[in-house]
Structure 1
Amino acid sequence: MLQRLFRPRPAREMGRALYAAAVSQSRTPALYERLGAPDTVEGRFEVYSLHVVLLLDRLQGQGEAAAETSQAVFDTFVKSLDDALREMGVGDLSVGKKMRKLGEAFFGRVKNYHAAFGRLPDAADLEAVIARTVYAEADAAHAPAMARYAVAQREALAAQPLERLLKGEVEWTQP
């Protein structure tokens, strides 16, 4: 009985699995080698934020189970950021401030990506968002290619059955 009480909810487990898949995909070497994403702390944050946004976008408006799973993906993302800051040596007194700043940045990206996705197939806005986030500290010449990659991922996610995603299973396309 106690095991049942303390067992994580399925949505939480699936959210963790989807988040882990997003992190794994965001570490694909081709994103950095061929698409020119900066291989820095900031560049990696932007690339994995993009993948998390793509998952949240796919789950949006798909019912209660998808909303729970989406929240679990986000919660796992936030916990991971907190853990990463602490591993980087950020002191306990500073973590809250940095987390607030990262949270505001992430919500800004969610809003901007969502608006850009709404204007597809015209990818100009998506390219602009990617240029000022992913390539903020690098040459943005690869922004159109990264935008095509993001659109392809979004389409691939849309084609995947919701049931698979709610089981924590996702297939990403290669860059």
Structure 2
Amino acid sequence: MFSSLRKLFKSEADPREARRPLWNAVVATARAPHWYAKGGVPDTLDGRFDMISLVLALVLHRIDDDPDQAVAGVQLTELFVDDMDGQMRQIGFGDMVVGKQIGRMVGALGGRLGAYRAADGSDELSAALVRNLWRGKEPPEGGLAHVMAEVAKLRGALAATPVDALIVADRLAG
């Protein structure tokens, strides 16, 4: 009986925590001031979410290149969901709202995963960035060009990083 109780209360390490350094690197990359200052991405809750979604999508695309690492992509996505849940609760959203908002955020990430597969420099990528980062409004002068160049640079750095090294990274090159 005692061993059954011990098993019940035994806390095992969360395997997703192995992806925590990579998640932190995604957030840090998305919060880099150049996106907002030179790129003109709105430095708002929505703008920050949009940038995290962009960087996360690029990282997930790279992880998808190695089917053996699929679990790492799932774990990283789960950390995204947990972090977004915690952020919403911290700013005062109630339980009833958080679930619906998380559903919308995951849906938005799914859409961005498809949209951001567009080739660097393409009209499709440009349209996806305008639609998602500036919510369909005209980006500030030079903003789109800056973001397009930085996305290509980040994608290149990710492509040069072996997936098995990426999934344990604590910073993103680029």
| Coarse TM-score class (shorter-chain normalised) | 0.7 to 0.9
TM value normalised by structure 2:
0.85
Distance 2:120 2:115 in 1: 16
Give the 5 Å matches for 1:64-83. 64=68, 66-83=69-86
Q: Secondary structure at the match of 2:107?
A: helix
2:158–2:173 Cα contact (<8 Å) kept: yes
| Alpha-carbon distance change, 121 to 168 in structure 1, aligned in 2, over 3 angstroms | closer
Deviations 1:80-119 (A, max 9, x none): 11111111111111111111122211111111112x1xxx
Which of these two proteins has the greater Rg computed from alpha carbons? 2
The CA RMSD measured in Å over matched residues stands at 2.0
TM value normalised by structure 1:
0.85
Q: 4+ residue runs of structure 1 moved beyond 6 angstroms?
A: none
Higher relative contact order (Cα pairs below 8 Å, separated by 6+ residues): 2
Distance 2:46 2:62 in 1: 24
Identity between Structure 1 and Structure 2 (%): 29
Letter aligned with residue 163 of structure 1: D
Residue 125 of structure 1 is matched in structure 2 by: 124
How far did 1:121 drift? 4.8
Structure 1 unaligned residues grouped into runs of 5+: none
Structure 2 unaligned residues grouped into runs of 5+: 1-6
Q: Secondary structure at the match of 1:35?
A: coil
How many correspondences in the alignment?
164
Residue 21 of structure 1 is matched in structure 2 by: 25
| Alpha-carbon distance change, 165 to 40 in structure 1, aligned in 2, over 3 angstroms | same
Q: Secondary structure at the match of 2:116?
A: helix
Letter aligned with residue 127 of structure 1: S
Equivalent of residue 110 in structure 1, options 110, 113, 130:
113
